[in-house]
Amino acid sequence: MAVATRAVGAVVAGLGLYAAFPPLGWWWAAPLGVALLLTVVDGRRARAAFGWGVLAALAYQYPLLHWTGTYVGAVWLGALAVVVLAVAIPVALFPLVRRVPGAPLWMACLWVAGEAAIERLPWGGFPWAKLAFGQAGGAYARLASLGGAPLVSFGVVLSGAGLWWLSTVLGRPTSGRPRAASGALGIAGALVAVLLGPVAGLVTPAHPATEPGEETITVAAVQGNVPRAGLDFAKQRRAVLDNHVRETRLLIQRVAAGRTPRPDLVIWPENSSDIDPFANADARAEIQAVTDEIGVPVVVGAVLRGAVNAAGTAYVEGPRNAAVVWTPRSATRPRGPTDQYVKRHLLPFGEYIPLRGLASLFSSDVARVVDFQPGTGTPVLAAGPARLGVATCYEVVFDDDVRDAVTGGADLLTVPTNNATFGDTNMTYQQQGMSRLRAIEHDRAVVIAATSGQSAVIAPDGAVVDRTGALYTPGVLVDRVPLRTTTTLATRLGPAPEWVLAALGVGAAAAGAGLAVRRRRPGGEPGETR
């Protein structure tokens, strides 16, 4: 295969992986992209395979992640360089596992190993581009309830590697390579690899949207909108708060007129009060007033600028991104803020700048990003009738963060998000796809409340029950959702499937390396010469 042909193939393969993600949502393009990528690198040494893997990963992840640099400039390219390695390194190891019987299986395991690494490193991880997050509407999605996002990615790559293997078995060798297998057995093995993931996903029972006798509540997600997009929206903090108060009061009017059911719980987005309501009496009074008027708890996304202890001395430095439960006036319960969760997993280059001195050399916008402080504790709030699990914006990408909420007793999940920071990009739609997969993974309804859109209500089976319209428009969603306490196999197993699959992939690469060494010894089979 000519170099130019390989280059085109690598780019098309990467674009196929990208196309699987929202808003396109062509989930079937991902296994085709994997198959094409393996065809491009088949027969190449590890160094060349790494290079083609980098090219494919750039075609995949640059359009997927470019929103991260919308307002901080070229500094985001550092994050891009890191996540590219999560694809390029497993692809570089493909020539090794190619030597081991059952190569499609081992390639799928290696891909999971790459995603496991980027889940954790660097800067606490940046796993936004996991293949699983492009599969919420596809045949592989229900695998999430069995083994979480890692099992979904595994199924996708296994199918793609199976397609590559099938083409090889059927007699289309590359650059003179002999067939990897022949006859009915080889074809059957390739077909198993292709079909195992989607068939297993389709036969896995879907979670029911509602079950007889289970408790349900009516939830309202308020999307107040922002004065303008980008980092500067925070300069009009009072306008953002006022917008959410206004939309909540319009909801109260519709409830009073009988046009909308009365909610049991109201959820505002992340940063809906960028004014600290604990430090600003006006903001606190406004939030309390509208909470009293609607008469149910309101979960407020607030930026807390500091805190003091009983002695009056500060003990927290820097802002914190919090979800605060605000309770209405009642004779039987306290009034005001009754519970809060502070976001634990902060977005690098968005909520804090790693290597700030170096990053500032690439963009003057770095100085505009104030480093937030991470929180601690279980991400579950006592919010009226619900035990509300909170994955604030970026946290929804982390397997452990969402699982912590469910194992901590959450019977409903919410993803409060401030997508206004990233302008008119696809970030919000990608996040919605992740939230759909989390609903399937843990058998929980998910409520997405976004400042500027797109807010959504997602059923436990991953279906979108309701959503707002165009970005940068106000709106309110009011829907009935189940409160569910069941646990899926994925919830119970936690990271175990990921670690097993990753270990198998690394072990297969080591075995392939051993075979390569033996074949280079005198009397062994000749190794690759290309």
Q: What amino acid positions are annotated as catalytic residues? A: 270, 343, 393
The three-state (H, E, C) secondary structure of 140-176, written as one string: CHHHHHHHHHHHHHHHHHHHHHHHHHHHHHCCCCCCC
CA angle at 526 for the pair 521 and 530, rounded to the nearest 5°: 120
From residue 236, alpha-carbon distances to 233, 269, 275, 302, 428 in Å are 6, 16, 10, 14, 22
Task: Locate 231 and state its tokens.
Answer: 């980092």
Task: Tell me how far apart the alpha carbons of residues 299 and 308 are, in angstroms, rounded to a whole number.
Answer: 22
CA angle at 243 for the pair 240 and 245, rounded to the nearest 5°: 110
| Collapsed DSSP state (helix, strand, coil) of residue 265 | strand
Pair type for strands 412-417 and 446-450:
parallel
What single DSSP character describes residue 462? Answer: S
The b/e string for 17-49 (b: 16+ C-beta within 10 A; e otherwise) is: bbbbbbeebbbbbbbbbbbbbbbbbbbbebebb
Q: What is the secondary structure of 276-321 as a DSSP string?
A: -TTT-HHHHHHHHHHHHHHTS-EEEEEEE--EE-TTS-EEE-S-EE
CA angle at 267 for the pair 259 and 450, rounded to the nearest 5°: 100
Helical (H) or strand (E) element with 463: none
Task: Tell me how far apart the alpha carbons of residues 144 and 204 are, in angstroms, rounded to a whole number.
Answer: 10
